[in-house]
Structure 1
Amino acid sequence: MNKDIELLVKKAKESDLKAKEELLNRFKPYVIKKARGIYIKNYDMDDLIQIGNISIMKAIDKYNLEKENFVSYVTLAINNNFNYEIRKMSKSRYDSSLNKVVEGDLEIIDIILEEENIEEDFIKKEKLNTVYIALNKLNEKERKLIYSIYFKDIKLKEYALKEEIKYGTVLKRKTKILKKLREFLKEK
């Protein structure tokens, strides 16, 4: 059988179309078997068989007749070409452009620029964290006053009435606490 295949390869290399067709038919079951075990997104069975057939044709052109082992050569070529196609398609799945149109005329870059600024968000979080650290350095009474005024939006007058403290005293405490917070924030 190997002598028969080697003779067909020799004829195919000499541009004998019938010899090429016969080689394609002989290796068709192998190509189909390999193609059934492969999945590449957006490729159907015909696409995979075509890759196998192209592999056979390239193998015929590149094969050295002195080696006398075309079966091994062509099966390795078919396997390598399927593996190459899988690698190529898996890489292209991850490569993309920020100018890729995702919806109508909307590009990926437009979505990124519109929605958020990561650097700005990070800076805001860092500043907030610094403020929380400074607030934790205050005693309980001081934190309660700042929390009520700035987080619960309670007016100074309401706070004074609720705590039964003079408005002027609450105003002085607030001023003193804010000065203390500024000092804590300068330390940071």
Structure 2
Amino acid sequence: MVDKIELESLVKKSQEGDKEALELVCRNFKWFIIKNCNKIYIKNYEMNDLIQIANIGLIKAVKMYKITERHVFAAYAAKSIINELNGILRTNLKNPFSFSLYNSNIKGEEFIDTLVSDVDIEEEYIQRESYRDVIESMDKLSQKEKDIIVSYYFMGITLKDYVKKNKMTYRNAVYRKRNALDKLRKKLKK
């Protein structure tokens, strides 16, 4: 990403016909364009089509930008890119495309049933709920008990290092950890 002054200089060179400067301006907006194109779906348009349309908006911004204006080119270009994408959306809204995941394919299967995912939503929900229960139970422990559980299980600090850090005996650390775990187990069983 180039700074504001360098970008203005590249725009000026582009307006004078320097194709390399124009290419650098386009590269500077590459991720902005991809991000905004990812937000759009238009039937029969591929991602590359949308990127090209956005680049046309950027090139129009380069040609029309007046260097003497008080506007920052980056903001001017961003607006031009978004306007170009919105224009193609408006054009395609005249022929709306509706699709439901509950529509059926040729085999009679609903599209929702044909989606493949490695994510098990039920398992993820159960894990989230379990995690929430652990957090709520942790809130009921004393600060010293929370500290040893968080240090040992979440931060990976060994009991030996925990003992040194907190200036206590190893036996007391083991006892504190065991008591904290017992309390957590009891609270989680309820």
- TM normalised by structure 2 equals 0.48
Higher helix proportion (structure 1 or 2) = 1
- TM normalised by structure 1 equals 0.48
Larger radius of gyration: 1
